[in-house]
Amino acid sequence: MTDCIFCKIARHEIPAKVVYEDDDLIAFHDIAPAAPVHLLVIPKQHIESLAGVTEEHQALLGKMLVLAPKLAAEFGAGNGFKTLFNTGKDGGQVVFHLHMHIIGGPRPWSNAQLVG
């Protein structure tokens, strides 16, 4: 998708505070953090949402989940964090490109408004 904001980030067409990148994934700071640590991990391949994944995406999703605790620890959420996939409009998804939130860090922080 040429107009997808996350595709543009993955192609480095718009800036982001990138914290990790390889051939398949890119991770960056959320622009509206809900907690002291709030990162997004996205595949470079455009997949609209978790509802759009198939068996061919198993390794990619596994890679995303394996990366989550590493990034959480690196950025200060080693004592606990959430992973979250908002899926579809009714699931709170705002950007229709598959993405995983890594949310954590020292409390207190609000659990409200975890959309994206």
List the chain domain ranges.
5-104
CA–CA gap between residue 44 and residue 52 (Å, rounded): 15
Q: Nearest Cα to 42, choosing from 56, 72, 63? A: 63
CATH of domain 5-104: 3.30.428.10
On the question of pLDDT at 114 being above 60, the answer is no
Which sign does the torsion angle of CA 111, 86, 100, 19 carry? negative
Confidence at residue 57, expressed as pLDDT on a 0 to 100 scale: 98
Confidence at residue 111, expressed as pLDDT on a 0 to 100 scale: 61
Q: What is the mean pLDDT of the chain?
A: 94
Q: Give me the active site residues, please.
A: 99
Span 8-26, average pLDDT: 98
CA trace torsion 70, 74, 75, 78 (10° rounding)? 70
Q: Which pTM does this prediction carry? A: 0.93
Q: What pLDDT, in 10s, does the model give residues 66-109?
A: 999 999 999 999 999 999 999 999 999 999 999 999 999 988 77
